[in-house]
Structure 1
Amino acid sequence: MSGKFDVILLAAQRTGIVNPLGQAHGVSHKCLIPIAGKMLIARTLESVTSHPGCRAVHVLIEPDGEAAVRPVAEAFAREGVPIHIISSDSNIAGSVLSGCDNGHPPFVITTADNVLIKHDSIDRVVKAMASGAGAVAALANKDDIRRVHPVAQRFFYEFRDHGYANCNLYGIADQHALEAVEIFREGGQFMNHPRRLVNAFGLFNILMMRFGWISIDNAFQRMSKRFGIDMRRVPLSDGTQAIDVDNERTYRIVEAILENRVHELKI
């Protein structure tokens, strides 16, 4: 596998629901919210397109948001790194697969509100896929996140060894892994359809993860067996990588982190 990859950038919001943070900031879509002088999606695009391995970016957003996002995307497109605007699906898995249908593996997947994403984090995801992983998910542990800010995250996946939060950064290595992801296309909101959740993960696996009876790596081993692909976690020690802009609280935290980065560059 070469060091090149396509980026799937998820910028959509729930169909028919006005995002409260976007509404509070006077924009139609959350990805258009300005933070520390730039739109959320502009900051994320700046990070992913400046990575030397980025081959193309596929932005998934609802049709009514395309006009606003297109000029922002065009500002970051460069020779050899096109940015495609694609209509999002009704659920996240469908959007991911639609983006993948328009690109070439391997894929790095993230969200437009993941404005703190770093090249090193992307490098680790790409390295895991290059070493044989079919699908990967980047996670940070609870202690590293709380060292950044005590309330940067309020929910953690608790396993036997520790608590973790996802970093909204994933990788899909090849067509075989994409075929395994297909199970989620019709899944919709799993929490509203428990039977779909059980069918996808298996009841025993769900119970073991829910009650913290297994370690995080054992959970990934079980999921690998369930889906027939090598699924791995990518541990990130930088707690900022698990903090995205979900609400006004995290908006203020991320804003402060961004402003501190600028201050450190000036010193």
Structure 2
Amino acid sequence: MTGALTVLVLAGERDGRLDPLAEAAGVSLKALSPVAGRPMVAHVLDTLAASHRVDEVRISINAGSGLERLPEVRSLAAAGRLRMFSSQPNLVDSVLDAVKGAAFPVLIVTADSVLITPEQIAEFDIAARRSGAEVAVALARRESVLAAHPDGQRKFYKCSDGAFSNCNMYWIGEDSALRAAELFRSGGQFVKHPLRVVGALGLRGVVELVRFRLGLSALDASFKRLSKRFGLRIVPIELSDGAAAIDVDHARSLKVTEEVLAWRHVEPQRLAAE
């Protein structure tokens, strides 16, 4: 493990499947859809370029995307801090391909996490290292998310010690911890094929997921039991800034994100004027 972070930005989509936001904007990929007048992935790249903890940025995106024409991409590439990879048909394969030879730890984020900030990255990285995690998952408490925007999220994981939202930020401490990704190769098909859940997690894992979804277990207790099942130390990290849990998935969250960006721009000016 090094002192700096490698960051993987997942920006690809399944071939032949056009995202509604991309279609509405007349672009080829969701990652290129405009948010506050700029491609959403440009906001993420600006944050990564500004973070003192980030050494290398890797982007997984569909071949022929034209992403290399963005000034944010050209700037990072010119500084020797960026590499691009063609996304694979399977999300897990995209991750495994893009992190080959990377220096760990690796932080995985998504192109639609427009509200990510250097402060969030630092908070997550520091907490993950201190926890001794092999894998860390960023979460935000409901109260923090709604404080960032009253319509920031509508669905939360309810635990016995609170309700939380996933921030789509994952910290991988060592390459050996990537074996956990194989458990989720079938991804969204779990819902349609429950037996795959049993095969991937085992009956005890399924019971723990049910307890978690029903709010019958505390957050840390759930992760400790799942860690034991996976043979990895998987740690939940609660971020203080609830905006980390707001990503751009549809028209409503696009509007929310643009409002938060506008507030961030106005607030420093207001404080300076006081």
TM-score (norm 2): 0.90
Asked if structure 1 preserves the Cα contact closer than 8 Å seen for 2:156 and 2:164, the reply is yes
Which residue is 2:118 aligned to? 119
SS of residue in 1 equivalent to 2:57 = strand
CA deviation vs aligned residue, 1:70-101 (integer Å, no higher than 9, x gap): 122223335342x1111112232222222212
Name the SS of the counterpart of 1:232 in structure 2.
strand
Report if aligned partners of 1:3, 1:126 keep a CA contact under 8 Å in 2.
Answer: no
Identical pairs, percent = 37
Aligned residue in 2 for 1:5: 5
Match for residue 161 of structure 1? Answer: 161
- Following the alignment from structure 2 to structure 1, what is the Cα–Cα distance between the partners of residues 32 and 210? 39
Give the structure 1 partner of residue 224 of structure 2: 221
In structure 2, the residue matched to 1:91 is: 90
Distance in structure 1 (CA, Å) of the matches to 2:171 and 2:87: 19
Aligned-pair distance for 1:102? 4.4
Q: Which runs of 4+ in 1 moved over 4 A?
A: none
1:255 pairs with one of 255, 258, 263: 258
Q: Is 1:17–2:24 an aligned residue pair?
A: no
SS at match of 1:179: helix
1:137 matched residue in structure 2: 137
1:191 aligned to 2:194?
no
Of residues 120-129 and 53-62 in structure 1, the stretch that sits farther from structure 2 once superposed is 120-129
What per-residue deviation string (whole Å, max 9, x for no partner) do you get for residues 40-91 of structure 1? 11110110122112121111111142xx21122223335342x111111223
Answering whether residue 68 of structure 2 is matched by residue 70 of structure 1, we say yes
Residue of structure 2 in register with 1:150 after alignment:
150
Distance 1:120 1:259 in 2: 18
* Cα distance in 2 between the residues matched to 1:259 and 1:10: 25
Partner of 2:175: 175
- Residue by residue, what CA displacement relative to the aligned partner does 1:168-200 show, whole Å, maximum 9, x if unpaired? 111000022112323333556332332222222
Aligned-residue offset at 1:230:
0.9
Unaligned runs of 5+ in 2: none
Amino acid at match of 1:213: L
**Partner residue, 2:234:** 231
RMSD of aligned Cα (Å)? 1.8
Aligned equivalents of 1:189, 1:102: Cα separation in 2: 30
Aligned equivalent of 1:242:
245
Q: Deviation digits for residues 8-42 of structure 1, max 9, x if unmatched?
A: 10001233211001111121111111222321111
Look up the SS of the partner of 1:133 in the other structure.
coil
Pairwise CA distance, 1:124 = 2.4
What does residue 41 of structure 2 align with?
41
Structure 1 length normalisation: TM-score? 0.92
Structure 1 gap ranges (5+): none
Equivalent pairs counted in the alignment come to 264
